[in-house]
Structure 1
Amino acid sequence: MNRIAQPTPIIQATSLNANPILSLEGVGKTFGAIRVLKDVNFQLASGEVVAIIGPSGSGKSTLLRCINQLEPATEGRVTVAGVTVDAKAPATKQQMAHLHRKLGMVFQSFNLFPHLTVLENVSLAQCRVLKRTKKEADERSMQLLTRVGLATKAGMYPSRCSGGQQQRIAISRALALDPEIMLFDEPTSALDPEVGLEVLAVMRELASEGMTMIVVTHEMRFAENVSDRVVVMADGVIIEEGKSVDVMRKPQNPRVQQFLTAVRDR
């Protein structure tokens, strides 16, 4: 298969290349004989919000998992806040600790501990990773739960919360570790549209406050109106990227035009 040419990004290069907080160089990922990612090059500036869109199976979620080393890349290099992990060598404990401190991730599934209360779910990692006291962790957890409108749920168990509430709890848990970059892997895909709006509202607030974010999403309105830049993937490569409004309204790649037409006509 011929590699799809990557168009020149519409966004100004200086905004991407001046001390990026995240950089991917020639990143590839292979599962057996299947090459899921192919020579992905990408930079993220501090405070930038990037939406990654594209058809199912294009490698979007795998890309996020390569960034946080849940699925180590088989090719290339990932640099997060000055620390580089090369696919040629396994990440060290020090590198993994650095990544866990710098990156927060929210998945499609909520992954909350059912036997812990909402407050305990948000506080647990703070005590184990940041070595905060239980009092310090609980205070931080309550601040975040209040922020997402769930302070009254602190003493409940996740099963007593709706899907949208559980996802907001998961966001609070990720934020509790004070990450510099938040990764969102289709955070509303498992939710009813109305419930998903609650989660999107929290993400919009984070973006407005300057949180650095990469969001894999099928929410086209969010991609156009909230993100600074849109990256479109297909068949494991980036086929177009640029300012959100330009990519969403005037895509240059025929494959992107086809994808956006199909999504909007559903």
Structure 2
Amino acid sequence: MTSISRSEFPRLVTPDPQTARPILKLEGLGKRFGDIQILKSIDFQMASGEVVAIIGPSGSGKSTLLRCINQLEPPTEGILTVGNLSLDARVSATKDQLAQLNRKLGMVFQSFNLFPHLTVLENVSLAQCRVLKRSKVEADERSMMLLERVGLASKAHMYPSRCSGGQQQRIAISRALALDPEIMLFDEPTSALDPEVGLEVLAVMRELADEGMTMIVVTHEMHFAESVSDRVVVMADGVIVEEGRSEEVMRNPSHPRVQKFLTAVRDR
């Protein structure tokens, strides 16, 4: 579980966001907190099955962008479209629209956000019963399949506190996948982990990418951004300053701000 290159499992077709029907589209998306503009008119789209890495300096708006996509932080301007659901920031989303959106998106945070009083199995099954209305038997069956997939079936009846940080993050990924999302959002999923433990999480994410899961990954893992994602988006000061094929952006960035950022990261 140490290699995270996609080259070992190349996909037959790499999605083209310019020609394929977008599964996600942002038009003029902006977010303001009082007088402070955090996101400034973001235009972005991605195709089904595409993996996009978002990188950039701290405070550039990367995490806020993810939180606007899943409406944890409702945008203050612009239009968000996921599949056939469109939300205009000028109109408050209805409860039904938010429920539809939550069924389409899975989110994995920096912190694991597991319920400490529930077992690992209960953590993964709970939302299935409440959101998808699965029976406990059906939910537990799905949960065990996912825990087996990430190598944690033996932890099913333990509490999260008995699991390492890397294991808890893999449990969180299983919980998000259990709702059968169309798109997975990852917000710095390895930032709270030791590098060696983080590799376990990155290996799971690599497998998801190889299997065709649509993913947006805010990350500081430059090797993951270059070798696993299809496309890299670089943000700074609330805007997208450069985007393109991963290898091209990571090795030959054209924007001076991106050149400066990548030089600083690599020389650290």
TM range (shorter): over 0.9
1:42 is matched by which residue type in structure 2?
F
Q: CA deviation at 1:19?
A: 1.3
SS of the residue corresponding to residue 149 of structure 1 reads: coil
Counterpart among 100, 105, 114 of residue 98 in structure 1: 100
Superposition misfits of 4+ residues, deviation over 4 angstroms: none
Q: Aligned equivalents of 1:157 and 1:37: distance in 2?
A: 38
Contact 2:56 2:235 (C-alpha < 8 Å) held by counterparts: yes
Q: Aligned equivalents of 1:17 and 1:112: distance in 2?
A: 39
- The equivalent residue for 2:221 is 219
Q: How high is the sequence identity, in percent, across the aligned residues? A: 81
How many corresponding residue pairs? 255
- The equivalent residue for 1:193 is 195
- The equivalent residue for 2:20 is 18
| Superposition CA RMSD, Å | 1.1
1:67 is matched by which residue type in structure 2?
I
Structure 2, gaps ≥5 residues long = 1-13
Structure 1, gaps ≥5 residues long = 1-11
- The equivalent residue for 1:127 is 129
Q: CA deviation at 1:15?
A: 3.3
SS of the residue corresponding to residue 263 of structure 1 reads: helix
Q: Aligned equivalents of 1:222 and 1:135: distance in 2?
A: 37
Counterpart among 106, 110, 113 of residue 112 in structure 2: 110
Contact 2:15 2:48 (C-alpha < 8 Å) held by counterparts: no
Superposed CA deviations along residues 98-151 of structure 1, whole A, max 9, x for unmatched, are: 111100000000000000000000000000000000000000000000000000
Counterpart among 156, 172, 175 of residue 177 in structure 2: 175
SS of the residue corresponding to residue 213 of structure 1 reads: strand
Counterpart among 120, 132, 150 of residue 152 in structure 2: 150
Normalising by structure 2, we get a TM-score of 0.94
Q: Aligned equivalents of 2:26 and 2:215: distance in 1?
A: 15
Q: Aligned equivalents of 1:90 and 1:154: distance in 2?
A: 39
Contact 1:105 1:183 (C-alpha < 8 Å) held by counterparts: yes
Normalising by structure 1, we get a TM-score of 0.94
Q: Aligned equivalents of 1:84 and 1:129: distance in 2?
A: 21
Q: CA deviation at 1:18?
A: 2.8
Contact 1:75 1:88 (C-alpha < 8 Å) held by counterparts: yes
Q: CA deviation at 1:69?
A: 0.4
SS of the residue corresponding to residue 132 of structure 1 reads: coil
Q: Aligned equivalents of 1:69 and 1:113: distance in 2?
A: 22
